[in-house]
Amino acid sequence: MRTISFDAVIVGGGGAGMRAALQLAQSGYKTAVISKVFPTRSHTVSAQGGITCAIASADPDDDWRWHMYDTVKGSDYIGDQDAIEYMCSVGPEAIFELEHMGLPFSRTEEGRIYQRPFGGQSKSFGEGGQAARTCAAADRTGHALLHTLYQNNIKNETVFFNEWFAVDLVKNQDGAVVGVIAICIETGETVYVKSKATVFATGGAGRIYASTTNAHINTGDGMGMALRAGVPAQDMEMWQFHPTGIYGAGTLVTEGCRGEGGYLINKDGERFMERYAPNAKDLAGRDVVARSMVMEILEGRGCGPNGDHVKLKLDHLGEEVLESRLPGICELSRTFAHVDPVKEPIPVVPTCHYMMGGIPTNIHGQALNVDADGNDAVIPGLYACGEAACVSVHGANRLGGNSLLDLVVFGRASGLFIEKSLREGIELRNASQTDIDAANTRLQALNDREKGESVAPLRHELQEIMQNHFGVFRTGDFMREGIAKLASLRERVDSVVLADTSSAFNTSRIECLELQNLFETAEATAIVAEARDESRGAHARDDFTERDDENWLCHSLYHSGGKRVSKRGVNFTPNTVETFQPKARSY
Partner 1 sequence: MLNVSLYRYNPETDNAPYMQDFTVDTGDRDLMVLDVLELIKAEYDGSVTYRRSCREGVCGSDGLNMNGKNGLACITPLSESVKGGKLVIRPLPGLPVIRDLVVDMSLFYAQYEKVQPYLQNPTPAPAIERLQSPEERAQLDGLYECILCACCSTSCPSFWWNPDRFVGPAGLLQAYRFLADSRDTATEERLAKLDDPFSVFRCHGIQNCVNVCPKGLNPTKAIGHIRGMLLNRAT
In the bound complex, what is the minimum distance in angstroms from residue 420's beta carbon to partner 1?
A: 23
Q: Distance between CA 38 and CA 127 in Å, rounded?
A: 45
Of 38 and 533, the one with the shorter C-beta distance to partner 1 is 38
With binding defined as CB under 8 A, does residue 320 bind partner 1?
no
With binding defined as CB under 8 A, does residue 339 bind partner 1?
no
In the bound complex, what is the minimum distance in angstroms from residue 457's beta carbon to partner 1?
A: 8
Cis peptide before 27 (omega within 30 of 0): no
Of 441 and 505, the one with the shorter C-beta distance to partner 1 is 505
Helix, strand, coil share (%) of the chain residues, nearest 5: 40, 25, 40
In the bound complex, what is the minimum distance in angstroms from residue 148's beta carbon to partner 1?
A: 8
* 33 close to 166: Cβ distance less than 8 angstroms: no
Of 155 and 480, the one with the shorter C-beta distance to partner 1 is 155
Of 508 and 566, the one with the shorter C-beta distance to partner 1 is 508
With binding defined as CB under 8 A, does residue 144 bind partner 1?
yes
Stretch that binds partner 1, among 3-11, 267-275, 454-462, 552-560 (CB under 8 A): 454-462
With binding defined as CB under 8 A, does residue 26 bind partner 1?
no
With binding defined as CB under 8 A, does residue 140 bind partner 1?
yes
Q: Which residues of 264-289 are buried (b: 16+ CB within 10 A; e: fewer)?
A: bbbbeeeebbeebbeebbbbbbbbbb
Of 159 and 499, the one with the shorter C-beta distance to partner 1 is 499
Scanning 495-542, the segments in alpha helix (DSSP H) are 507-531
In the bound complex, what is the minimum distance in angstroms from residue 198's beta carbon to partner 1?
A: 23
With binding defined as CB under 8 A, does residue 450 bind partner 1?
no
Selected binder of partner 1 within 110, 371, 424, 578 (CB under 8 A): 110
CB atoms within 10 A of CB 451: 6
Binding mask 539-558 for partner 1 (x = CB under 8 A): --------------------
Of residues 28 through 67, those in contact with partner 1 by CB under 8 A are: 37-38, 40-43, 45-46, 55
Stretch that binds partner 1, among 211-219, 477-485, 564-572, 573-581 (CB under 8 A): 211-219
Of residues 237 through 266, those in contact with partner 1 by CB under 8 A are: 249, 251-252
With binding defined as CB under 8 A, does residue 189 bind partner 1?
no
Closest CA to 503 of 34, 189, 192: 189
With binding defined as CB under 8 A, does residue 532 bind partner 1?
no
Selected binder of partner 1 within 61, 186, 274, 477 (CB under 8 A): 186
Selected binder of partner 1 within 3, 375, 502, 545 (CB under 8 A): 502
* 425 close to 75: Cβ distance less than 8 angstroms: no
In the bound complex, what is the minimum distance in angstroms from residue 284's beta carbon to partner 1?
A: 26
DSSP H or E segment with residue 406: helix 402-424
Alpha-carbon distance values, 306 to 137, 247, 294, 298, 301 (Å): 37, 12, 14, 11, 10
Q: Distance between CA 348 and CA 242 in Å, rounded?
A: 10
Cα-based torsion angle of the residue sequence 558, 560, 565, 570 in order, rounded to the nearest 10 degrees: -30
Of 454 and 467, the one with the shorter C-beta distance to partner 1 is 454
Of 84 and 455, the one with the shorter C-beta distance to partner 1 is 455
Closest CA to 36 of 161, 211, 130: 161
In the bound complex, what is the minimum distance in angstroms from residue 204's beta carbon to partner 1?
A: 13
Alpha-carbon distance values, 171 to 179, 195, 213, 366, 394 (Å): 7, 11, 34, 16, 29
* 451 close to 497: Cβ distance less than 8 angstroms: yes
Of 102 and 128, the one with the shorter C-beta distance to partner 1 is 102
Three-state secondary structure string covering 251-315: CECCCHHHHCCCEEECCCCCCCHHHHCCCCHHHCCHHHHHHHHHHHHHCCCCECCCCCEEEEECH
412 catalytic per annotation? no
Stretch that binds partner 1, among 139-147, 284-292, 380-388, 576-584 (CB under 8 A): 139-147
CB atoms within 10 A of CB 178: 27
Q: Distance between CA 64 and CA 71 in Å, rounded?
A: 10
Closest CA to 367 of 376, 375, 356: 376
Of 148 and 361, the one with the shorter C-beta distance to partner 1 is 148
With binding defined as CB under 8 A, does residue 506 bind partner 1?
yes
Q: Which of 286, 398, 459, 541 is catalytic?
A: 286
In which order are the strands placed within the sheet that holds 564-569? 233-234, 554-559, 564-569
In which order are the strands placed within the sheet that holds 51-52? 51-52, 130-135, 115-122
Selected binder of partner 1 within 298, 377, 456, 487 (CB under 8 A): 456
- Active-site residues, by number, are 286
Q: Which positions lie near partner 1, rule CB under 8 A?
A: 37-38, 40-43, 45-46, 55, 95-96, 99-102, 104-113, 137, 140, 143-144, 147-148, 151-152, 154-155, 186, 215-217, 249, 251-252, 328, 331-332, 335-336, 454-457, 499-500, 502-508
